[in-house]
Amino acid sequence: MKARSYIWVILAATLWATMGLFTQPFTAMGFTSQELLFLRVLFSAPLLGVVMLCRDRRQLKLKKMTDIWCFLGTGICSFVFFSMCYFTAILKIGMGVAAVLLYTAPAFVLLMSAICFGEKLRGRKLLVLGMTMCGCALVSAFWKDSGALGLGGLLLGLGAGFGYALYSIFGTFALKKGYQPFTVSFYTFSIAAVFLLFCIQPIALFEKITEQGLWLHMICFSLVTTLIPFLSYTIGLSRLEPSKASMTATLEPALAAVFGVLIYQEEVSLHKVLGVLMVLGAVVFLSGAEKTAGS
């Protein structure tokens, strides 16, 4: 049922929204963005590999070696590229503006899905897209930081949104080739980990984790922010159009704002409340559209 598919995507968005709860303490301990990104996939790949060996080891095999391009797309072109752009954009233009630009992803997905998969650009989808974009803007209050936005910052933010969108596109290509969500996630993490290995100093990183006794924390960080949500999103993507999955995932900034209020006692303002309600309304409207012929 498609209703369950939306639940999988909502679960992914909820777990992605906890990212700040993990990254803030680790950053304060001296971990860089590249190191945290590497650790997210380093633990996720072998953990998922063990599950697949116990569950169905045939899912570890590629049907054709030429299919590797799909996973190079999800692993490097999407996961690594969007993460690097996003982390750099946050430093350059602030989290508010970076978050809004990241969530231009549904617009990219909508356009690329029309080109690659023949999705129809109908009024309901465009309305939901507008609601989610406006909701994300309200949640992030981007206008407060807009003075810092230059051409470099704009390109970084849009690059993050484009890279984020590519996961839905490359992931859908892999799913259409008959690969299971477990396989897509496993090769995404594995390829990303190998690529990122050349961007950090792994020995120094492992020594730092051992000295501070953070191995269990890092495994939990990887499970909650990477393995479970990406697997959940891919399961949802296997039964939804890419544009609908991407727009549903825009719950993430709204939920992150809610977590910020509940855990860090961040400011509760009218624009944040309106933004959260607008994004929630868009997701409900989109999922309800499955029951109508015009969706």
pLDDT digits (tens, 9 = 90+) for 261-288: 777 666 667 777 787 788 778 777 766 6
CB 115 within 8 A of CB 173: no
Burial of 276 (0-12, 13-18, 19+ CB in 10 A): buried
Give Cα 57 distance to the centre of its chain.
27
Query: Comparing 259 with 139, which gets the higher pLDDT?
Result: 259
Check residue 207 and give its pLDDT.
Answer: 93
- CB within 8 A of 91, min separation 6: which ones? none
- First CA to last CA across the chain, in angstroms? 16
Q: Is residue 71 classed as helix, strand or coil in its secondary structure?
A: helix
| CB hemisphere CA count around 208 (13 angstroms) | 16
Check residue 149 and give its pLDDT.
Answer: 59
Closest CA to 234 of 173, 161, 162: 173
Check residue 266 and give its pLDDT.
Answer: 62
Q: What's 75's DSSP letter?
A: I
With the C-alpha atoms ordered 242, 248, 252, 257, is the resulting torsion angle positive or negative?
positive
Could you read off the pLDDT of 1-19 as tens digits, one per residue? 577 888 999 999 899 888 8
Check residue 293 and give its pLDDT.
Answer: 41
Check residue 295 and give its pLDDT.
Answer: 40
Check residue 109 and give its pLDDT.
Answer: 87
Check residue 8 and give its pLDDT.
Answer: 94
For the chain, what is the largest distance between any 2 Cα atoms, rounded to a whole number of angstroms? 59
Query: Comparing 213 with 143, which gets the higher pLDDT?
Result: 213
Q: How far is residue 23's CA from residue 256's CA, in Å, rounded to a whole number?
A: 13
Residue-averaged pLDDT of the chain:
84
Query: Comparing 73 with 250, which gets the higher pLDDT?
Result: 73
Check residue 87 and give its pLDDT.
Answer: 81
Helix axis angle, 19-28 relative to 33-56, nearest 10°? 130
- CB within 8 A of 63, min separation 6: which ones? 177, 178, 179
Q: Which residue bears the tokens 């495994």? A: 219
Q: How far is residue 184's CA from residue 165's CA, in Å, rounded to a whole number?
A: 16
CB 10 within 8 A of CB 2: no
- Report the range of poorest mean pLDDT among 111-120, 143-152, 179-188, 285-294: 285-294
Instruction: Please state whether the predicted TM-score (pTM) of the whole model is above 0.95.
Output: no
pLDDT band at 104 (very low <50, low <70, confident <90, very high): confident
Could you read off the pLDDT of 19-51 as tens digits, one per residue? 877 877 888 888 888 898 999 898 899 999 998
Which tokens belong to 69? 């391009």
Check residue 96 and give its pLDDT.
Answer: 63
pLDDT at 145 over 60: no
pLDDT at 190 over 70: yes
Helix axis angle, 19-28 relative to 251-264, nearest 10°? 60
Mean predicted confidence (pLDDT) in 95-124: 80
Ordered by start, the domain boundaries in the chain are 2-291
pLDDT band at 103 (very low <50, low <70, confident <90, very high): confident
Q: How far is residue 290's CA from residue 56's CA, in Å, rounded to a whole number?
A: 32
Mean predicted confidence (pLDDT) in 198-216: 92
